[in-house]
């Protein structure tokens, strides 16, 4: 076996082993504290609610272990067994060239998605239904799948043709052009997604509560935030999970509240959540995330360039077709991204702490504490996560850490 191929297989196996180890740690932590909620939450989270959160965490970890093992198995299967026959099958009906290369990537993505569907169905109609979160129907999920597939083809196919054409015309510098194009696309999607893509899946309506809207608009003006509006998303059509988010750039900026969140929180808590989202704006976290994504894209395109020039596909006994190489790189790169997750999660958690601190300075500590407690309780988030698991998988700090960081008075 080629040394490079052996190292990739080893990385896939080690990444999967690490994932299973961390998921087992998380399940053990939830089980160990199932009958002992943190004392600081004794007045706001009942023992029954805490036990339910622990049961949800344990069940989710069992499903996550299955997913981790499936992904590792599929990664090895693609490189060792599936990709070669898939290329041979497509080459019988498509002549060598750009179209064949694009078809390989599209077909591999389609097959991989179909193989993941059973676990997606188990999560939605098994786990989420069992714990009272799921509101989606099979029809809703089917429509979402079809819309997602159509959008993926609409964007991915032209981008793949452009990328592979650049490779053909400029073998030495195509990756720089590809990086620039991907960066432009990323920024464009950040602007377009809130108002064009997201409404294809959910209904967004302007906030109707005039009193609450007036309080929010006063806060927006105080913080110097100009947005495209305050919107409510019909999240309850699919799930009872509550959330809120800030997205977009420039005049396309939007602040969105799940309708499930608005139903469960007081006006003071909702305004505090808004202040938290404004904290992301205040500290430029969207631009920071774009900068991080740009760095990852640059490294990814450089790695792709080296993979083309050094015949990475041949290390696995696969044809040196650009489409095949793309699939190999995406498959081999997953373990690396897994190992980098503590760094990206650290940056994300730091941003959350900053936004929390900003919200506390604007609205006070108590509304933020109450909002974070309710979000954690209603979403069945464990209050006793394993620290090492959180390092790899938590993009947001656990609620106990966020509340402890709020202290007593604004700094």
Q: What are the counts of helices (DSSP H) followed by strands (DSSP E) for the chain? A: 15, 4
Residue 92, CA distances (Å) to 96, 323, 369 in order: 9, 16, 62
Q: Tell me the C-alpha distance between 3 and 242, whole Å.
A: 48
Nearest to 307, CA basis, from 291, 286, 328: 328
Encoding tokens for residue 91? 């080459």
Q: How many CB atoms within 10 Å of residue 175?
A: 23
Nearest to 304, CA basis, from 188, 157, 163: 163
Q: Tell me the C-alpha distance between 1 and 19, whole Å.
A: 26
Encoding tokens for residue 104? 């390989």
Q: Tell me the C-alpha distance between 30 and 384, whole Å.
A: 6
Diameter of the chain measured on Cα atoms: 70
Q: Tell me the C-alpha distance between 99 and 107, whole Å.
A: 12
Find out whether 48 is annotated in a ligand binding site.
no
Find out whether 352 is annotated in a ligand binding site.
yes
Could you give the residue ranges of the DSSP H alpha helices within 123-209? 128-130, 138-169, 174-192
Find out whether 276 is annotated in a ligand binding site.
yes
Q: What are phi and psi of 45, to 5 degrees?
A: -130, 120
Instruction: Check if the beta carbon of residue 321 is closer than 8 Å to that of residue 313.
Output: yes
Nearest-5° angle of CA 93, CA 98, CA 104?
60
Q: What are phi and psi of 391, to 5 degrees?
A: -60, -35
Say how many residues make up the chain: 411
Residue 277 known to be catalytic: yes
Name the strands in the sheet holding 244-247, side by side, starting at the edge strand that comes first in the sequence.
204-206, 230-233, 254-258, 244-247
Of 71, 128, 277, 357, which one is the catalytic site residue?
277
Residue 35 known to be catalytic: no
Q: Tell me the C-alpha distance between 232 and 235, whole Å.
A: 9
Of 128, 356, 357, 386, which one is the catalytic site residue?
356
Q: Tell me the C-alpha distance between 67 and 120, whole Å.
A: 9
Give 232's DSSP letter.
E
The annotation places the binding site for Zn(2+) at 276, 280, 352
Catalytic positions, written as ranges: 277, 356
């Amino acid at each position: 076996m080629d040394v490079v191929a052996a190292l990739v297989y080893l990385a896939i196996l080690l990444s999967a082993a690490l994932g299973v180890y961390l998921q087992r740690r998380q399940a053990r932590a939830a089980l160990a504290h199932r009958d002992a909620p943190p004392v600081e939450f004794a007045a706001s989270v009942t023992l029954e609610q805490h036990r339910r959160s622990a049961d949800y965490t344990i069940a989710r970890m069992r499903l996550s272990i299955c997913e981790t093992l499936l992904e590792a198995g599929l990664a090895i299967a693609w490189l060792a067994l599936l990709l070669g026959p898939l290329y041979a099958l497509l080459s019988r009906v498509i002549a060598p060239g750009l179209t064949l290369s694009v078809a390989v990537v599209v077909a591999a993505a389609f097959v991989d998605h179909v193989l993941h569907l059973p676990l997606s169905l188990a999560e939605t109609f098994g786990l989420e239904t069992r714990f009272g979160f799921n509101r989606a129907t099979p029809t809703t999920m089917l429509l979402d799948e079809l819309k997602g597939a159509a959008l993926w083809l609409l964007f991915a196919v032209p981008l793949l043709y452009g990328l592979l054409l650049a490779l053909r015309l400029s073998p030495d510098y195509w990756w720089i052009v590809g990086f620039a194009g991907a960066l432009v696309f990323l920024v464009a999607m950040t602007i377009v997604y809130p108002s064009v893509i997201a409404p294809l899946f959910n209904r967004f309506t302007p906030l109707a509560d005039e009193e609450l809207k007036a309080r929010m608009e006063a806060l927006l003006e105080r913080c110097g935030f100009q947005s495209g509006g305050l919107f409510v998303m019909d999240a309850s059509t699919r799930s009872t999970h509550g959330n809120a988010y800030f997205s977009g750039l420039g005049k396309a900026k939007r602040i969105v509240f799940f309708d499930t969140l608005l139903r469960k929180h007081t006006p003071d808590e909702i305004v505090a959540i808004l202040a938290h989202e404004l904290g992301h704006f205040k500290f430029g976290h969207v631009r920071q995330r774009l900068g991080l994504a740009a760095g990852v894209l640059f490294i990814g395109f450089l790695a792709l360039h080296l993979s083309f020039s050094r015949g990475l596909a041949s290390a696995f006994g696969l044809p040196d077709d650009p489409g095949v190489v793309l699939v190999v790189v995406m498959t081999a790169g997953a373990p690396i991204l897994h190992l980098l997750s503590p760094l990206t999660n650290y940056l994300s958690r730091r941003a959350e702490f900053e936004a929390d601190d900003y919200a506390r300075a604007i609205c006070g500590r108590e509304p933020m504490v109450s909002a974070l407690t309710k979000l954690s309780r209603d979403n069945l988030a464990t209050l006793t996560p394993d620290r090492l698991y959180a390092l790899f998988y938590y993009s947001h700090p656990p609620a106990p850490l966020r509340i402890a960081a709020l202290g007593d008075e604004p700094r």
